[in-house]
A and B are shown apart, each in its own frame.
Chain A
Amino acid sequence: MPIQTRRSHDGQTLIIKIEGRFDFSTHQAFRDAYEHGGKDIRGYVVDLSEATYLDSSALGMLLLLRDYGGGDNAIIAIENCNNDVRKILTISNFEQLFTIR
């Protein structure tokens, strides 16, 4: 499965894990993940430890998640990026919108 979701221990954070290529083909699955993630979610974590590749449609999906999660008030962290993925996020200056760790 390219997308897996689970909740944090306190149940308030939805953790979405992406495996393989994070591109246009993941679009629907990613949306389903956060739209049907359940109630009372305060924040999101996108786990990219097993993501191999990120393109501009993935950046777009992150923007959609941010909009869904409250726009400027959304709490979203992007974790465990490899160097290539990190580089793409840096060039786009996405750390101005997301916490990147």
Chain B
Amino acid sequence: MDEPAAKSGPLNILIADDSDSDRLILKTLLRRLGHHVLDAANGHEAVALFGSGKPDIVLLDALMPAMDGMETAREIKRLAGERLVPLIFITSLSEAEDLARCLEAGGDGFLSKPYNRVMIEAKINAFNRMRLMHQALSDQRDLMHERNRQLLEEQHVARRVFDNVAHTGCLDAPNIRYHASPLSVFSGDVLFASPRPAGGMLVFTGDFTGHGLPAAIGAMPVAEIFYGMASKGFDGSDILREINQKLVRILPKDMFCCGAMVEADFGQNQLKVWNGGLPDGWLVRSRTERFSVPSRYLPLGILNADQFNAEMETIRALPGDRLLLMTDGVLECSNEEGQLFGEKGVRLAFENVASGRHPFDTLLNGIQRFTGRQKFGDDLTLCCLEMVDQVGLTALPDGAAPSTLAGPAEWRCVYEIRDRTLGEFSPLPLLLHICMEVPGLRRKSGEIYTLLSELYNNALEHGVLELPSEWKYTPEGFGRYYSERATRLGRVNGHYIRFSFHHEPMQWGGRLGVVCEDSGQGFDFHNHPVLQSTEMEQSGPRYAGRGLVLLKRLAESIRFHEQGSRVEIVYDWYF
């Protein structure tokens, strides 16, 4: 900003001098220079005129009776507050001590008597420049304050929207414990949890790069993808692929999201996990048995769709086993000496656990002891998922209110997948979607999905792949089952699974017929213990048996043909 070197425009100048003649001379001099003058005969008048007249510059006689110059100066400076009003002492004093006292009282400079027109003009211009510069700085500072306040307010609003998105779903389920960053910190961490239509849960923990708004913005589309797909029955791998693709597209090249996905299947006692960039997860089976889940993949939002690997690791997990996930905020907790909690801290916390204590509490206590602070949790996200019995979990509530859209009442549909597609693609979300077009079935998405899922898994694993389900129920057999499954899926040839749907309206609601056929050998259903017995209780871990019990309970009727490789189900719904 260019300071005008020449004379300033007319200023308001306050002068105070107890000598009438001196005062008159000065007043005239200043008027001739083009300024407006307020004159006071003593300190009290000067203060009063300062308040009413709001001058730009003050010229003050140092020695005055009653309220003397120093006192007046202090009072005027106090009234001026933050504004810079240059205050120039007029004095014939020459002792350094006296001059110093003037400056300490608030004076900015001196003018000596007798008056020198050139000197006065020069000083007034100089001090005016100073005044203008100070004013400009103050204005800019105020502008910055206001802008900053607006930004903070916007961030606060954004944070509330973010919170409705970032820590949601079924995080309050009885088998989940979690700690997430409080409202005051925008850390870019997210934690999502959703029940799946056929039972089980999906949990996603994420840590976006950076802090504040840019970090949080990526969370919105990810939340939508996660919850949308989870409710439709998609599995963890499908959701990971979709999230990755979205982030690659919308985030700048240097931004990404470290994340972990967990798919819990309580009915089959297994967990599937994927960790890309987060610290080790921990599966705690008992006090001594712990199993780490390290990061094996690049974070989300970096690799293109064709390079991205969404393969999840399958781990056997029984009721009571607990899986802990954390973001790096946990490792970066520091104590007073500046040491970090780190992986060492996590291990130590687990080793010191008292038997029977929940690992979540153990870890939080460990962090608290290490940091020595009550309020340490500002920037860390920790989540613990406990495996439970399928029966013990409350089911997904029957869906949304019926839509106002009319849907198809009478229709048929056949969908068949063959060969390699059998291993690579689950048709369940699509088939569910087709059924959900019927308004009366929308409330029943959980039951329909469960039905389709049981039919499909039966057909695939027992029909096409011919895998004995008993293998899954021993620790040794578990690994064998899944590796054999992968092998046999690779060899599938000439096999198919076909779904045929038929829906018709009824007086009381509607009837959905589902036929599932597979190319496998089938099983001997005439002598099947479950299908013959009237008891629902299962004594042994026969998945096929358990699945069929479920079908019997959900469907109106169930019939087996052709050695069980063709199953017909009728499902009725009522208004």
If the complex has contacts A57-B210, A63-B302, are A93 and B276 also in contact, measured as CB distance less than 8 A?
yes
B253 engages A67 (CB within 8 Å)? yes
Q: How many A-B residue pairs have CB under 8 A?
A: 42
Q: How far is the CA of A87 from the CA of B258 in the complex (A)?
A: 15
B209 within 8 A of A: yes
A100 within 8 A of B: no
Q: Which residues of A contact B255 (CB under 8 A)?
A: 60
Q: Chain B 268-301 against A: per-residue CB contact (8 Å), 1 yes, 0 no?
A: 0000000011110000000000000011111100
B298 engages A97 (CB within 8 Å)? yes
A residues 42-67 near B (Cβ < 8 Å) are: 56-57, 59-61, 63-64, 67
A91 within 8 A of B: yes
Q: Which residues of B contact A97 (CB under 8 A)?
A: 298, 302
B254 CB contact (under 8 Å) in A63, A91, A92 = A63
Residue of A nearest to B255 (CB): A60
Residue of B nearest to A24 (CB): B210
Q: How far is the CA of A97 from the CA of B298 in the complex (A)?
A: 9
Give the contact-size bracket for chain B: 10 to 19
A92 engages B253 (CB within 8 Å)? no
If the complex has contacts A59-B209, A91-B277, are A64 and B253 also in contact, measured as CB distance less than 8 A?
yes
B114 CB → nearest A CB, Å: 59
The A interface, classified by DSSP as helix, strand, loop or mixed, is: helix
Q: Which residues of A contact B297 (CB under 8 A)?
A: 93
B residues 182-227 near A (Cβ < 8 Å) are: 209-210
If the complex has contacts A91-B279, A92-B277, A92-B299, are A61 and B258 also in contact, measured as CB distance less than 8 A?
no
If the complex has contacts A92-B298, A93-B296, A93-B297, are A60 and B277 also in contact, measured as CB distance less than 8 A?
no
Residues of chain A at interface, number, CB under 8 A:
14
Residue of A nearest to B254 (CB): A60
A94 engages B209 (CB within 8 Å)? no
A73 within 8 A of B: no
B209 engages A93 (CB within 8 Å)? no
A96 within 8 A of B: yes
B209 CB contact (under 8 Å) in A56, A67, A91, A96 = A56
B28 CB → nearest A CB, Å: 59
B325 CB → nearest A CB, Å: 14
If the complex has contacts A56-B209, A56-B210, A60-B209, are A94 and B256 also in contact, measured as CB distance less than 8 A?
no
Q: How far is the CA of A93 from the CA of B307 in the complex (A)?
A: 14
Residue of B nearest to A94 (CB): B298
B433 CB → nearest A CB, Å: 35
A96 engages B256 (CB within 8 Å)? no
Q: Chain A 75-101 against B: per-residue CB contact (8 Å), 1 yes, 0 no?
A: 000000000000000011110110000
Q: Which residues of A contact B279 (CB under 8 A)?
A: 91
If the complex has contacts A60-B255, A61-B254, are A92 and B295 also in contact, measured as CB distance less than 8 A?
yes
Q: Which residues of B contact A93 (CB under 8 A)?
A: 276-277, 295-298
B298 engages A64 (CB within 8 Å)? no
B45 CB → nearest A CB, Å: 57
Q: Which residues of B contact A67 (CB under 8 A)?
A: 253
Q: Which residues of B contact A63 (CB under 8 A)?
A: 253-254, 256, 302
22 A-B contacts (beta carbon < 8 Å): A56-B210, A57-B210, A57-B254, A59-B209, A60-B210, A60-B253, A60-B255, A63-B253, A63-B254, A64-B253, A64-B254, A67-B253, A91-B277, A91-B279, A91-B294, A92-B258, A92-B277, A92-B298, A92-B299, A93-B276, A93-B297, A93-B298
Binding site for A on B (CB under 8 A): 209-210, 253-256, 258, 276-279, 294-299, 302
